[in-house]
Amino acid sequence: MAGFGPNEWLVEEMYQQYISSPDSVDEAWHEFFADYSPAGSGSSSPNDAPEQSQPVKSNGAAPPSPATAPAASAPSAAPAQASPPPVTPPSAPAASPPASSAPPRQPDRAAVTPPASAGPPAPARNPEQPKPAPLSRDRSQTSSPTPQSADGATSMKLRGAAARVVANMESSLEVPTATSVRAVPAKLIADNRIVINNHLRRSRGGKVSFTHLIGYALVKALESFPEMNTAFGQVEGKPALITPQHVNLGLAIDLHKDDGSRQLVVASVKGCEGMDFAAFWSAYEEIIKRARSGKLTADDFAGTTISLTNPGTLGTNHSVPRLMAGQGAILGVGAMEYPAEFQGMSEEMLAEIALSKTITLTSTYDHRIIQGAQSGDFLRRMHQLLLGEDGFYDEVFSSLRIPYEPVRWVTDVTIRHEGQIDKNARVIELIDAYRTNGHLMADTDPLEFKVRTHPDLDIIQHGLTLWDLDRVFPVGGFAGEATMSLRDILGVLRNSYCRTVGVEYKHITDPEERGWLQKRIEVKHDVADVREQKHILGRLNAAEAFETFLQTKYVGQKRFSLEGAESVIPLLDAVLQKAAEYALDEVAIGMPHRGRLNVLANVMGKSYGKIFAEFEGNMDTGTVQGSGDVKYHLGASGVFNHPERNSAVRVSLSSNPSHLEAVNPVLEGIVRAKQDLINKGEGGFTVMPVLMHGDSAFAGQGVVA
């Protein structure tokens, strides 16, 4: 049981539940519990013997009683075929040993080799006997109330899991520990976490917590101080220093039980030393997920070499956690708060004076193998990493494929000299840099071969620092606002220019045209409402269902599938909705072969019957002897009806016989001719061309219009 450390109580609780109802325990534990014997038990059913009062040692453990040992093993002597008659226990309890007699001396468990078998096999269960009920989660299973004492106080005996927690805590007292404490500025951690999570929210999803970053800093700090990942042990009865092969980081997880109580388990992430941050984050989240769902296995509990606990999530400012045997150190993380004397200040004043929140780190270590200087240097190394030294955040951003420069730890610049550029002007300069070069950092490479960055988009290049992120600057109408914080300015700029759409327009010489584009590009990101999200999902489902059917029904036929680019359908749907709202006369589309059949079916309204007939090889009866062209070259025309408004717009798709997309300049000529025929003058360009590029354009071939 020593391998489970602080989780021994949970393992024993699960074992008792397994004995009562094996099906109520995850199958991953069945093999482990098949030959498992609880610590200190010498029989399979100790509860069969009547209770007997025993003197209690100072650590709460009762000495073995010769009178009860035979009784506990007596049932195993009976043959399995015969069921013994029920035995009525004596009306009077067994006599306690005399008070003057000292309890027999307990042998040292560390010096005694346990027997190969934990005890005789359990008696066979009668198949007609009803199955025991699952182990209850009530507190009554772990405690037993006793009558009140003379002064009115009540006492409660701790049993089961609660008693195991007591035993674990008492055994931890045998480890001589000391604790080092260090306060770390938390602003850089918080600012980089905001950048990371904003990017994840708009791309792959997920969320990085402070504990993820601190835990990874702990793993990286162990590279400089591997002695913190050691343990004390005994080899042949003599003290020894044990150096594990890997870094197995134990995570203290606070679980809420159904009855309102809480339990603490420590599961470990194995082999952390070989992970980058993305792998560490994924493994960490997998452990938490399995802990919340009750899917942890024995391997998750065993082998922890160093632990991390974060009571700061509950507001605890400073913690000295217990260090269990088998580990050399445990790191405690405190709450992230402003110093107490500044907590009455407004957020604006705190930003103005460049005051950071702090977070307290504690290193509780085994003083037999780790000295105070080593623990202090270890915390100093973590301090350095959390302030971004040695490219810590660069590595984090790179592993998550985030294109932005991390926020850097620099000194705040508040002194103004004559001739120095004001920070307000530097903010306007930063906005112009994103308008000019933001498209160079846009995520437009579907292969994600290289993360694109640009030095002109780093705030440090413009004389701004992390201390300016929460300060408010005048922006002159940028994003429809008169003033904005630098953090909000960067959010709008990155959402507008550096996401999945690259916009380049600064070469336009007409300031009115540039302003028209800026007004529509530089807007705050709004999440679509539920109704719109459901509509988009419906269009995606229609595109996916169409491709799935063709792939299943017409295996091997050339069709230029839209698989992987189904978002084209809701994108065209949104364009046509806007065209209908603005009462345009027509939308003319030119596109490659890829996805043409899907567009014909789900945008143009071409019937499925006609498309399937073309797959069957049937001739088009509408033309003399058929058109002779293949199905993915054909065009069509129809009417698009707005899904919510009483409006519609004509839509046409031009035929395209060439995979080099020669249709693009042809379509522009078609649109110009239609506009001339309508002849509404300068204000009447009501035929809108929509050009789409395909595979060859991605490779740099074909016509780019």
Would you kindly state where each structural domain of the chain is located, as residue ranges?
A: 1-72+106-136+156-161, 177-376, 426-521, 530-698
pLDDT at 288: 94
Q: Is 454 a catalytic residue?
A: no
Q: How far apart are CA 572 and CA 196, in angstroms?
A: 31
Predicted confidence at residue 282, as pLDDT, reads 96
Angstrom distance (rounded) from CA 59 to CA 321: 21
- 59-66, long-range: CB < 8 A, 24+ apart: 59/170, 60/166, 60/167, 60/170, 61/106, 61/167, 63/103, 63/104, 63/106, 64/104, 65/97
Using alpha carbons, select from 542, 233, 215, 510 the residue that is nearest to residue 366. Answer: 233
398: nearest Cα among 353, 323, 452 = 452
- Choose which CATH entry (3.30.160.250, 3.30.559.10, 3.30.1240.10, 1.10.3720.10) describes domain 177-376: 3.30.559.10
Q: In whole angstroms, what is the distance from residue 535 CA to residue 297 CA?
A: 42
Predicted pLDDT of residue 679: 86
Instruction: Report helix, strand or coil for 380.
Output: helix
Tokens 């984050």 -> residue:
281
* CA dist., res. 237 & res. 443, Å (int): 61
What is the assigned CATH class of domain 426-521? mainly alpha
3-state SS assignment for residue 650: strand
Written as six digits, the tokens of 661 are 């997309």
Q: Which two tokens stand for residue 88?
A: 């009525």
Rounded to the nearest 10 degrees, how much is the dihedral formed by the CA atoms of 280, 281, 287, 290?
-140
Residues forming a β-bridge with 691: 590
Residues in contact with 484: Cβ distance below 8 Å, sequence separation at least 6, in sequence order: 472, 473, 475, 478, 492
CA atoms within 13 A on the CB side of 568: 26
**Active-site hit among 367, 633, 642, 659:** 367
Sign of CA dihedral 564, 567, 568, 570: positive
Which pLDDT score, from 0 to 100, does residue 445 have? Answer: 76
3-state secondary structure (DSSP) of residue 363: strand
CATH T-level assignment (fold) for domain 530-698: Rossmann fold (3.40.50)
Counting as low any pLDDT under 70, the low residues of the chain are: 1-3, 5-6, 9, 38-149, 160-161, 415-421, 446, 448-449, 617-632, 658-661, 694-705
